[in-house]
């Protein structure tokens, strides 16, 4: 009898225990129901904006190109109209292109632009053998926050933040809206900048711009900083707040008269002021590539006859020896993985896609106190050995360039040169033109 009693008490206790373990529901609905609700919410919110959404989009995982503005209008039939500020092969700035989108469950709520849109996928398609990931932009985004006032997402592969805010103009204003950014961006383009906090220049060795980033150099490479931004109708917005000398700012207005960007954030007082350099300093410190026109038959760009002849001869040489042609020639910072220093580069290709680069390293030296003279000092072939096959062909061209140094530089635009004419100081008949 006692045993029976014990059994029943145990049974009752076990059941009590079962009740105690019954967990309170933290959420009002199941995970699947909440996911469906979130999917529907994003779909409905995207479609609900009557004039579409203004998007702040950052390609490249390290945001090394900065940000670009888009306008997106989502439709209920699964199509989306996209216009961007960057002109592509077939579309001008602000021209809308239609493609498809989908909101699906994948790592959370995912927005995917899943058929090709030339304007949008410009940033997310490969660009040939030397740039296999192109501008490394995302075309799928994971939702973080969704309200009618703003939608925040992160790129699925690169993780960059994408911010959407409702656009308040109608469709007829898209083009004007998107065109203003490039125009403004060009207005504050300068070779270098001075960053000032409370009117005092901050201790940054050099501030330059590349695409939509400011590059802060501090003397040691590991201290250098990339400050990505996106252009706004009145100035710029940094990807994340910047702190210099204890002051923090994210939003800047451009003051055209003073040639500076002025921080808007309360109490910040940071300015980024445009500064100008003599032409030889611009070239000697270049981080860009200055090209000979690479149209066929080579060379198409403006240059003196002896150099043109040397290039033609070199081309004939490699055509005969390697069955290849010169694809392009540039002087400046090397693009090859094997050498990124200052150099003269000849890219040669058999099919116009895959190419090998013959790299000849040079030092670009300012001729002191001239302001416009640069000496090109040849220091030898560089790279992974591709030059060996081409050495015979290009040596005469290299010899000409080095023998005629130093050069006097001229440009149509002294503040922001996009083209440079090199004229030999010793032989004024020897010249060539390079363009960015």
Partner 1 sequence: MKKIILYLFAWSLLVGAWSCNKNEISSNSIFDAPAAPQNAFDKWLLMNYTYPYNIDFKYKLDDIESNLTYQLAPAKAENSVAMAKLIKYLWLEVYDQVGGITFTRTYVPRIILLVGSSGINPNGTELLGTAEGGLKITLYKVNELDIKALNINLLNEYYFKTIHHEFAHILHQTKNYSSDFLQISSTDYIGEAWNDKDESLSKAYKLGFVSQYARKSVDEDFVEILAMYVTSTVTQWNAILTLAGADGRPKIEQKFEIVKDYLTTSWNIDIVALRDAVQERSALIGNLDLTL
Q: Which residues bind partner 1 (CB under 8 A)?
A: 1, 4-5, 8-9, 11-12, 15-16, 18-19, 22, 29-30, 32-33, 35-36, 39-40, 43, 76-78, 99-100, 102, 105-106, 112-116, 121, 124-126, 128-129, 132-134, 136, 139-140, 156-157, 353-354, 356
Q: Which is nearer to partner 1, 7 or 287 (CB)?
A: 7
Q: Which is nearer to partner 1, 8 or 287 (CB)?
A: 8
Q: Residue 100 and residue 88: Cα distance in Å, rounded?
A: 19
Q: How far is the CB of 35 from partner 1 (least distance, A)?
A: 8
Q: Which is nearer to partner 1, 11 or 183 (CB)?
A: 11
Q: Residue 230 and residue 213: Cα distance in Å, rounded?
A: 8
Q: How far is the CB of 277 from partner 1 (least distance, A)?
A: 36
Q: How wide is the angle at C-alpha 211 spanned by C-alphas 206 and 215, nearest 5°? A: 20
Q: How far is the CB of 302 from partner 1 (least distance, A)?
A: 32
Q: Residue 105 and residue 348: Cα distance in Å, rounded?
A: 46
Shortest CA distance to 319 belongs to which of 297, 348, 293? 348
Q: How far is the CB of 336 from partner 1 (least distance, A)?
A: 12
Q: How far is the CB of 139 from partner 1 (least distance, A)?
A: 7
Q: Which is nearer to partner 1, 117 or 373 (CB)?
A: 117
Q: How far is the CB of 100 from partner 1 (least distance, A)?
A: 6
Q: Which is nearer to partner 1, 244 or 386 (CB)?
A: 386
DSSP per position, 10-56: HHHHHHHHHHHH-PPPSSSS-HHHHHHHHHHHHHHHHHH-TT-EEEE
Q: How many helices (H) and strands (E) does the chain have?
A: 7, 26
Look at the block and give the residue holding tokens 């501030």: 207
114 CB-contact burial (10 Å; exposed 0-12 / middle 13-18 / buried 19+): middle
Q: Which is nearer to partner 1, 20 or 257 (CB)?
A: 20
């Amino acid at each position: 009898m006692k045993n029976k009693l014990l059994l029943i008490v145990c049974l009752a206790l076990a059941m009590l225990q079962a009740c105690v373990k019954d967990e309170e529901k933290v959420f009002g609905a199941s995970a699947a129901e909440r996911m469906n609700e979130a999917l529907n919410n994003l779909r409905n919110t995207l479609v609900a904006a009557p004039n579409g959404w203004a998007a702040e989009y950052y390609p490249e995982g390290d945001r090394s190109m900065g940000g670009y503005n888009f306008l997106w209008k989502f439709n209920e039939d699964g199509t989306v109209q996209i216009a961007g500020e960057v002109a592509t092969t077939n579309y001008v700035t602000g021209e809308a292109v239609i493609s498809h989108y989908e909101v699906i469950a994948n790592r959370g709520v995912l927005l995917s632009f899943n058929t090709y849109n030339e304007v949008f996928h410009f940033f997310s398609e490969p660009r040939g053998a030397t740039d296999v990931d192109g501008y490394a932009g995302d075309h799928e985004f994971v939702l973080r926050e969704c309200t009618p006032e703003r939608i925040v997402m992160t790129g699925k592969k690169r993780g960059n933040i994408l911010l959407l805010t409702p656009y308040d103009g109608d469709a007829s204003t898209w083009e004007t809206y998107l065109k203003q950014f490039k125009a403004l961006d060009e207005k504050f383009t300068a070779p270098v900048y001075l960053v000032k906090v409370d009117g005092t220049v901050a201790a940054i060795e050099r501030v330059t711009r590349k695409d939509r980033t400011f590059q802060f150099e501090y003397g040691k490479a590991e201290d250098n900083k990339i400050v990505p931004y996106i252009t706004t109708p009145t100035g710029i917005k940094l990807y994340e707040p910047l702190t210099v000398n204890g002051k923090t700012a994210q939003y800047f207005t451009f003051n055209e008269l003073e040639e500076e960007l002025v921080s808007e954030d309360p109490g910040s007082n940071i300015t980024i002021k445009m500064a100008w350099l003599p032409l030889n300093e611009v070239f000697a410190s270049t981080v860009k590539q200055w090209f000979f026109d690479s149209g066929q038959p080579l060379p198409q760009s403006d240059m003196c006859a002896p150099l043109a002849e040397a290039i033609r001869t070199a081309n004939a040489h490699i055509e005969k020896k390697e069955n290849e042609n010169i694809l392009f020639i540039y002087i400046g910072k090397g693009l090859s993985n094997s050498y990124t220093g200052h150099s003269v580069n000849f890219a040669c290709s058999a099919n116009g896609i895959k190419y090998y680069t013959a790299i000849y390293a040079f030092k670009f030296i300012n001729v002191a106190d001239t302001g416009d003279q640069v000496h090109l000092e040849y220091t030898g072939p560089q790279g992974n050995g591709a030059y060996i096959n081409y050495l015979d062909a290009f040596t005469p061209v290299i010899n000409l360039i080095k023998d005629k140094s130093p050069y006097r530089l001229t440009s149509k635009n002294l503040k922001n040169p996009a083209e440079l004419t090199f004229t030999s100081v010793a032989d004024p008949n020897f010249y060539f033109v390079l363009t960015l």
